[in-house]
Amino acid sequence: MITQVSSSLYHQLTTVFDDGLAIKGDLEPLASLRRNAFARFQETGFPTLKDEDWKYTNLQPLLSKNYLLRDNLPGKSVSIEKAFIKGLNPYKLVLVNGHFRTDLSDVVDEQGVSIYSIEDIHQHKLSLRHFAQYADKTDNPLVALNTALHEGGLVIEIEKNITLRRSIQIIHVASSSETIFNQTRNLYLLGNNTKAEILESFITDDIGLSLNNTVSEVVLEENAHLQHYYLQTANSQSSYLNHTEIHQKKHSLYNNYNCTFPGSAFIRNNINVRLDDSAVESHLYGITLTAEDQLVDNHTIVDHRKPHCESYEWYKNITQNTSTAVFNGKIFVREDAQKTNAFQQNNNMLIGEKSTIFSKPQLEIFADDVKCSHGCTMGQFDDDALFYLRARGISEEKARVLLVHAFAFDVTEKFSSEPIREYVDHLIEEGLIIEQ
Amino acid sequence: MSTKDDNILTELAVEEYKYGFTTDIEMDIAKKGLSEDTVRFISAKKSEPEWLLEWRLKALKHFEKMSMPQWQNFKHPKVDFQDISYYAAPKEKPKVNSIDEVDPELLETFAKLGIPLDEQKILAGVVAVDAVFDSVSVKTTFREKLKEVGVIFCSFGEAVREYPELVKKYLGTVVPQTDNLYAALNAAVFSDGSFVYIPKGVNCPMELSTYFRINAQNTGQFERTLIVADEGSYVSYLEGCTAPMRDENQLHAAVVELIALDNAEIKYSTVQNWYPGDKNGIGGIYNFVTKRGICRGDNSKISWTQVETGSSITWKYPSVILKGDNSIGEFYSVALTRNHQIADTGSKMFHIGKNTRSKIVSKGISAGVSQNSYRGLVQIGKGAEKARNFTQCDSLLIGDRCGAHTFPYIEAKNKTAKLEHEATTSKIGEDQIFYLNQRGIDSEKAVELIVNGYAKEVLNQLPMEFAVEAQKLLAISLEGSVG
């Protein structure tokens, strides 16, 4: 299934793998995990438009480039100011092309929290037990590729009964003067009765093109609470393939806020939540503002496997210029998952003359005593609302900004942190192109 | 569940499908197998012109090149295309001119089905019927009366002989031979069907109706319906289907093409009650049908209404291509599945013209261990200024082992488009049943009442005679599903 176009990166990767470079000195079970994963990747190759999950998202142009598969300048200095959020003082952890840079990062001096580079995972029994146990069960070939050839990434382990005093901000910097392919791997483990807030900012710093294939696995043990933000502000030189797999235990709560702004040329987010115990709650919020030629594709899966769980999903897209937004939300309610409440909503504002929106809100239900609903709308500026504001002396430009803010408010009001809401509101305003 | 209930259920499995009889009639059945010879045989049997044979052969070539689709939400059953007989017809007798000359066995069959073929006996005379028996049209009623206003309503075979230009002009323009595997198969081997042409400005004076009946064993039914509504005309068309109970699965792969020109309106209603198989999922019809209409002219309208209770697998997406400006497409559906039935159905609306509007209302009901999927596509093209769509797909679950799924695809490329989609899934509330119980209505009747209320929005779209039948059908199909 390997087409001519994708052969260049595909062959490059095969060569790297066959040379044994990836496995290096890896101990078991990591070495066999990598080997098995690469075999799985080779079976399918890169996904094409013929795959249902990639129907609207063409990877081929990205695969025809000649990539540098390893950072040739580790340790170089980068600027991270772009990711700073006014009014928020988190522990900043900096990853440059996936590599954890302790020299640029804050020290997290909280009891019961250990943070280390994924390269050191073989020294940690607990993390090793969870590593590659969740995301690899999906059939995403990019996850298999990441498991096989990942380099760099972060592990956060929070011991039970710990509540983090400050939030953690992970700043992912893509920085290279050449065309680079990064494969970062993260693992976040939250023990029983823990509470944490993790922000992940994606920024770029340098002129080279980058393709970032990131996989994160998140495990929430009983009664763990996690607020998880994605703040995507990278520039048009960068492309992202993010896969996040969340595994939840009893009474846990997971909130994901996925915010994407004009910049990065190509973004594909897979966010999968497995509610694998009773009384679990998950919330997925998304706000996407696109411009120019951007393509932003958000795929989510909410998988209800056990009874008495609740999920709530709300994604909003605003497309400008010639950009494209894709939303695919799947909700599964398995046979066992009686008394499930699942809600999903996708609203779109199509502003750009030549922009496109593809939406596929999907429900698959195998249990009868459930309440599930989904809704999807597409529209644009409401002329009546615009007129109302204009009649009150508000300029057209200002009125449009107001209306977009109002549209986004359903999602931004759900944010757990005030400074982040202000930060996002500001980015929306900045990203809006108002035609005079 | 008590043994008494079990007994009732067992009885119902035998009783419930009351159209499961077979008719012993002399049949002309082609040898099993599919090849160029089969196609030539059918074409020769129908004494078809050369162009149609060519058209069929082209379709066969495409069919042979195509592979089975994989995207559907069920495991595609193995269909051995060489193990099917592609032609079955009541033995040719001299052409009949009056009702007395039709085989009495056949008349009896249709009488059992409640299809009055005998024109004289119909007092009301509001429905003209084209009865299709094992994919050959047996009798079309009220032809003369329709001819007076210029409406052509006849079997496909006759249409090819008598109105070749019309058929040639429109055949395959909405569903081309290459459209999909089953459409290609149908194009190659279709044996008959109905043809309707409504001339300019004519409001068809009565409901037109086709009744499909599969009778012979090991045959597939492949009929083709073509309806053309010329400028400013209106027609309402009904389709009903039944088949005998057999242990093997039979294939029904029909194609329906609707064409509405300027200001024309076509209303197409289906009450599908093919044999659904027994309660263990053995036997039943595979209903793989391609239905598509095109609003070719400005201000035209096409409306699909379907009540699907039969077939072991129903797989179809009646669609409308909204090409003309201000054209309207509608789709109303109730799909009820139980036991081991599978339904993967929905609609597609392609908005091409300006100010086009579409509405989809789909109500799925699943019981037993059945799987019911809604799959739909709403596509707004670049030039479809001010297009508007509303979609609602609701699912009702009865029992804890059935499934209800929705797969809506929404694609918008125009910034003036307005779309709404909503879906809900729920079960029949115990409080609702309790409320009705309190008022002396037993649980089974209560469920019937609730389901009919749930499906009302769709049933209301059916012509009156059909609505009554559809309501009864839902009631019969639901019997025994409450434990």
Q: Quote the pLDDT of residue A122.
A: 87
B397 CB near a chain A CB, below 8 Å?
A: yes
Chain B residues near residue A361 by CB distance under 8 angstroms: 406, 408, 421, 423
| One domain for residues A273 and A387 | no
Minimal CA separation from B127 to chain A, in Å: 40
Confidence of residue B347 (pLDDT cuts 50, 70, 90): very high
CB neighbourhood size of A32 (10 A): 11
Chain A residues near residue B421 by CB distance under 8 angstroms: 359, 361, 374-377
Contact A356, A324 (CB under 8 A): yes
| One domain for residues A20 and A144 | yes
Number of domains making up chain A: 2
Q: Quote the pLDDT of residue B115.
A: 55
Residue B329: pLDDT above 70? yes
Nearest-Cα residue of chain B relative to residue A319: B415
- Which residue among A221, A243, A277 closes a domain? A277
Residue appearing with tokens 């799924």: B405
Minimal CA separation from A28 to chain B, in Å: 38
Q: A231: which 2 tokens?
A: 């703040």
The Cα–Cα gap between A149 and A181 comes to: 11
Chain B residues near residue A375 by CB distance under 8 angstroms: 420-423
B416 vs A360, A368, A380: nearest CB: A380
B406 vs A335, A362, A378: nearest CB: A362
Asked if A371 and B422 come within 8 Å (Cβ–Cβ), the reply is no
For residues A20, A23, A28, A29, the Cα torsion angle rounded to the nearest 10 degrees is -110
Q: A174 φ, ψ to 5°?
A: -95, 115
Most B CBs within 10 Å: which of A319, A340, A346, A350, as the mutation test of the B interface? A350
Q: Quick check: is A195 in a domain?
A: yes
Q: Quick check: is A248 in a domain?
A: yes
| One domain for residues A392 and A265 | no
Q: Quick check: is A300 in a domain?
A: no
| Cα distances (angstroms) measured from residue B40 to each of A417, B54, B66, B80, B301 | 74, 10, 21, 20, 37
Q: Quote the pLDDT of residue A115.
A: 95
Asked if B427 and A351 come within 8 Å (Cβ–Cβ), the reply is no
Q: Which of A280-294, A335-349, B123-137, B303-317 has the lowest mean pLDDT?
A: B123-137
Three-state DSSP class for residue A42: helix
Q: Quick check: is A92 in a domain?
A: yes
B49 CB near a chain A CB, below 8 Å?
A: no
* 436 residues of chain A, pLDDT tens digit each: 334 444 578 888 888 888 765 566 667 788 889 999 999 999 999 999 988 899 999 998 898 888 888 777 777 888 899 999 999 999 999 999 999 999 999 999 899 999 999 989 989 999 999 999 999 999 899 999 999 999 899 999 999 999 999 999 999 999 988 899 999 999 999 999 999 999 999 999 888 899 999 999 999 999 999 999 999 999 999 999 999 999 999 999 999 999 999 999 999 999 999 999 999 999 999 999 999 999 999 999 999 999 999 999 999 999 999 999 999 999 999 988 999 999 999 999 999 888 999 999 998 998 888 888 889 999 988 889 999 999 999 999 899 999 999 999 999 999 999 999 999 999 999 999 876 4
Angle (CA) A176-A181-A187 rounded to 5° is 105
Minimal CA separation from B268 to chain A, in Å: 28
Three-state DSSP class for residue B252: strand
Most A CBs within 10 Å: which of B392, B406, B447, B481, as the mutation test of the A interface? B406
Nearest-Cα residue of chain A relative to residue B373: A364
- Which residue among A247, A262, A277 closes a domain? A277
Q: Quick check: is A217 in a domain?
A: yes
Q: Quick check: is A367 in a domain?
A: no
- Which residue among A277, A292, A325 closes a domain? A277
| One domain for residues A260 and A407 | no
Q: Quote the pLDDT of residue B8.
A: 42
Pairing of the two strands B136-140 and B127-133: antiparallel
Q: Quick check: is A54 in a domain?
A: yes
Chain B residues near residue A370 by CB distance under 8 angstroms: 397, 425-427
Q: A45: which 2 tokens?
A: 């190759």
| One domain for residues A145 and A24 | yes
Q: Quote the pLDDT of residue B479.
A: 66
Nearest-Cα residue of chain A relative to residue B366: A368
Max CA distance (Å), chain B: 69
Enumerate helices (H) and strands (E) in chain A, giving the number of each: 8, 20
Contact A44, A1 (CB under 8 A): yes
| One domain for residues A230 and A113 | yes
Chain A residues near residue B407 by CB distance under 8 angstroms: 360, 362
Asked if A373 and B404 come within 8 Å (Cβ–Cβ), the reply is no
Q: Quote the pLDDT of residue B141.
A: 64
Give per-residue pLDDT as tens, B403-442. Answer: 899 999 999 999 899 999 988 888 887 888 899 999 999 8
Q: Which amino acid makes up residue A316?
A: K
Q: Quick check: is A296 in a domain?
A: no
Q: Which of A100-114, A278-292, B265-279, B378-392 has the lowest mean pLDDT?
A: B265-279
Tell me how many residue pairs between chain A and chain B have CB atoms under 8 A apart.
110
Give per-residue pLDDT as tens, B187-244. Answer: 888 877 888 999 999 988 877 877 766 666 656 678 888 999 999 999 988 887 666 6
A368 vs B400, B407, B419: nearest CB: B400
Domain limits for position A421:
382-436
Most A CBs within 10 Å: which of B402, B416, B419, B425, as the mutation test of the A interface? B425
Chain B residues near residue A360 by CB distance under 8 angstroms: 407-410
Residues 275-294 of B with CB under 8 A from A: none
* Burial grade of A9 (CB within 10 A; 0-12, 13-18, 19 or more): buried
Asked if A357 and B411 come within 8 Å (Cβ–Cβ), the reply is yes
Q: Quote the pLDDT of residue B408.
A: 92
Mean pLDDT computed over B123-129: 48
Mean pLDDT rounded to a whole number for chain B: 80
Contact A121, A30 (CB under 8 A): yes
Asked if A356 and B413 come within 8 Å (Cβ–Cβ), the reply is yes
B410 vs A351, A366, A378: nearest CB: A378
Residue B307: pLDDT above 80? yes
Most B CBs within 10 Å: which of A297, A330, A346, A365, as the mutation test of the B interface? A365
| One domain for residues A196 and A74 | yes
